[in-house]
Chain A
Amino acid sequence: MSISVRGIRKKFGQFQALDDIDLEIPDGQLVALLGPSGSGKTTLLRIIAGLEFADCGTVQFDGKDISAQSARDRQVGFVFQHYALFRHMTVFENIAFGLRVRPRALRPSEPEIRDKVNELLALIQLKNQARRYPSQLSGGQRQRVALARALAVEPAVLLLDEPFGSLDAKVRQELRHWLRQLHDEVHITSVFVTHDQEEALEVADLVAVMNEGHIEQVGSPEEVYNRPATPFVFNFLGNVNIFHGRVDDGKAYIQETDTGNLAFVRPHLLEITRQPNGANHFRATTTHINSAGPVVKVDAITEWGAPVHVEISQERFQALRLAKNELVFLTPRDIAVFGKERAS
């Protein structure tokens, strides 16, 4: 089911949580709402779910306006950050809940419920834990039960609020892959909220980057990472060096002095050489080198005294035999220039 959000605004007291949000989510996609805390991403998700109501604007499922419908009638599966499992029910009863509360005419029979729940227990690999209570499960297990509970009612849309936010790094990684696999199997239109750019870029088909109640950019992970539309997206997705910059004849340049424009360069798109190599390089002095890890991180000070971060491969680092307090030449391979007022 496709979701379209049109002109949504929401205020909490004086705080403008969402300001004129438009978003199209195509059928069957896994979409990430990515942004820092306070950017309005969870509010938007809750409005799509019907747990919150917008001050104005509409939400449509498959072109049908459902803005006035309650969460109960929207057929959404919602997975909460802190799981929100029913603590007095077993894992089995948690998953069966959505089926048991259906009106009598629509309620499956007891054997049907049992089959359905067992099928889901197998899917989340918790068949042996059916009779346990949520407090007896680990965080990752609880989150999977929450997901199974949401899927039990066969929702048209699956919404996940920071689904892996309160798990430790390793479990998070595993569940992330598992969610991607699960989505590839069931193809249910899914939206998940995250503040973790890595998570969004790795899992989602489409990423909507949000900031201060606005959507900054919507695009595939490649698009938002490689072609950020705004300085905010540039800054939020990965590390970036910010310089003064200018554009001449369609080419971007870094400059020492203030030009009213800012130039953004990713650390891995700065080339380090020991000799000047022609156009558009600048001098810098290395101050710190961290060679632990797959890439070597080099901190340096430019000739005009600004700090700059560079990432180079281990091979390149070996070839250069770089050390602290050495003069090097930096050549940016890709520069993005934005007007200053937009960048601030």
Chain B
Amino acid sequence: MASIAQTQFRAAAGPHSSAAGVAASEPAVVRWVLIGVAVAFLAIFLFLPLAVVFRTAFQKGIEFYFQAFRDPDTQAAIRLTLLAAGIAVPLNVVFGVAAAWLIGKFEFFGKSLLITLIDLPFSVSPVVAGLIFVLLFGLQGLLGPWLIAHGIRIVFALPGIVLATIFVTFPFVARELLPMIQSQGNEEEEAALTLGASGWQTFFRVTLPNVKWALIYGVILCNARAMGEFGAVSVVSGHIRGLTDTMPLHIEILYNDYQFVAAFAVASLLALLALATLVVKSIAEWKAAQQFAAQSAADPERSL
């Protein structure tokens, strides 16, 4: 009797479980086609260009590759890029954190307008952004004559490059932080306040640690864009070799001079920067996940 019941049960369970298996996934053909499309897409748009960059850079051997960096103009371009990013990124961290904090924690008139303004650099063409600064600070610009009279150079000099870089990269930090700050609400800050913490203490001890990884990721993205920016910087720099050429501009010049190896050697630096960004990003995400896992590890004696 018992064995009959068992067989019946098996018979009933059999088709049921296999039906669930089919429902949970697509046929093999569909899966492989989709995976193939994704891989082909990545290959054409990411891996192939990357391979070409490094292949061309090393075309004439390692000797030529490193010789490209001995050129004083190239060295000046690398220095200028590092300097511009070194100024723009910290400033944008301050702006971004302040803006995300303001928007995330407070209600005020014109909030949605401010959010739109922060997103503006995403929607404005970088060339237009560069032109804005030329029209403002250039020789024929609005403030040009006054600046000339006081001996201040902005356009075709470092300040212009930094300004253009800041403009183009300022949404990154704020945009990364905002969802985090908004989702966390105000209660922890209110708790800190009732416990006697000052505004700065609350910010550094409560708010900032909670958004640490989002902030790091925002900084990485901001830095990558700051070093790679071409359009806006191209308009304000004036392309003075050894003086106002950043790495991306210098690559274009080398390329136009048919110095392919040198051009791609410098380009490989930017590509390495992108790869490094990806690595740091992965570490940041992994750390965040690890921290979360450590915090929510099962507690064997979870009693009242």
Contact = CB atoms under 8 A, between A and B. Distances in A.
Contact of A84 (B188, B197, B301, B302): B188
Contacts of B51: none
A86 interface: yes
Interface string A122-139: 000000100011111110
Contact of A171 (B192, B209, B304): B304
A46 to B, nearest CB: 9
Interface residues of B, number: 26
Contact of A97 (B190, B205, B291, B303): B205
B206 A72 contact: no
A98 interface: yes
Interface in B194-225: 194-198, 201, 205-206, 209-210
B297 interface: yes
Contact of A140 (B198, B205, B209, B304): B304
Given A88-B209, A135-B296, A76 B194 contact: yes
Nearest to B187: A84
A70 B210 contact: no
Contacts of A137: 299, 302
Interface in A72-123: 72, 74, 76-78, 80, 82, 84-88, 97-98, 101-102
A133 B194 contact: no
B190 A101 contact: no
A15 to B, nearest CB: 15
Given A84-B188, A87-B210, A141-B304, A132 B195 contact: no
A132 B302 CA distance: 11
A78 B303 contact: no
B191 interface: yes
Given A51-B190, A78-B190, A136 B195 contact: no
B295 A136 contact: yes
Nearest to B188: A84
Contacts of B190: 51, 71, 78, 80, 84
Given A132-B299, A137-B299, A51 B194 contact: yes
Contact of B192 (A97, A102, A133, A134): A97
A163 B195 CA distance: 17
B194 A72 contact: yes
Contact of B304 (A49, A86, A101, A138): A138
Interface in A125-171: 128, 132-138, 140-141, 146, 149-150, 152-153, 171
A98 B196 contact: yes
B297 A136 contact: yes
B193 interface: yes
B19 interface: no
A174 interface: yes
B209 A72 contact: no
A149 B210 contact: no
A311 to B, nearest CB: 32
Contact of B194 (A78, A102, A135): A78
Interface string A55-75: 000000000000000111010
B294 interface: yes
B295 A102 contact: no
Contacts of A70: 193
Given A72-B196, A140-B304, A101 B187 contact: no
Nearest to B298: A136
A132 B303 CA distance: 13
B196 A153 contact: yes
A88 B210 contact: yes
A133 B295 CA distance: 6
B210 A78 contact: no
A140 B299 CA distance: 14
Q: Which among A71, A141, A150 has the highest number of chain B CB atoms within 10 Å?
A: A71
Contacts of B193: 51, 70-72
Contact of B197 (A78, A85, A101, A133): A101
A243 B295 CA distance: 57
A251 B304 CA distance: 52
A87 B292 CA distance: 10
B191 A84 contact: yes
Given A51-B190, A135-B295, A102 B206 contact: no
Nearest to B208: A88
Contacts of A84: 187-188, 190-191
A49 B196 CA distance: 12
A63 to B, nearest CB: 22
Contacts of A174: 304
Contact of A101 (B188, B195, B297, B302): B195
A74 B195 CA distance: 10
Contacts of A74: 194
Nearest to B193: A71
Contacts of A78: 190-191, 194
A101 B205 contact: yes
A98 B190 CA distance: 12
Contacts of B297: 136
Contacts of B303: 138
Contacts of A72: 193-194, 196-198
Nearest to B296: A135
Contacts of A98: 195-197
Given A84-B187, A174-B304, A136 B197 contact: no
20 contacts: A71-B194, A72-B194, A72-B196, A78-B191, A84-B187, A85-B188, A86-B205, A87-B295, A98-B196, A101-B192, A101-B198, A101-B205, A135-B296, A136-B295, A136-B296, A137-B299, A146-B191, A149-B195, A150-B194, A150-B195
Given A71-B194, A98-B196, A134-B295, 16 more contacts: A80-B187, A84-B190, A86-B188, A86-B206, A87-B188, A87-B295, A97-B192, A97-B197, A101-B205, A133-B296, A137-B299, A138-B304, A140-B304, A150-B194, A153-B195, A174-B304
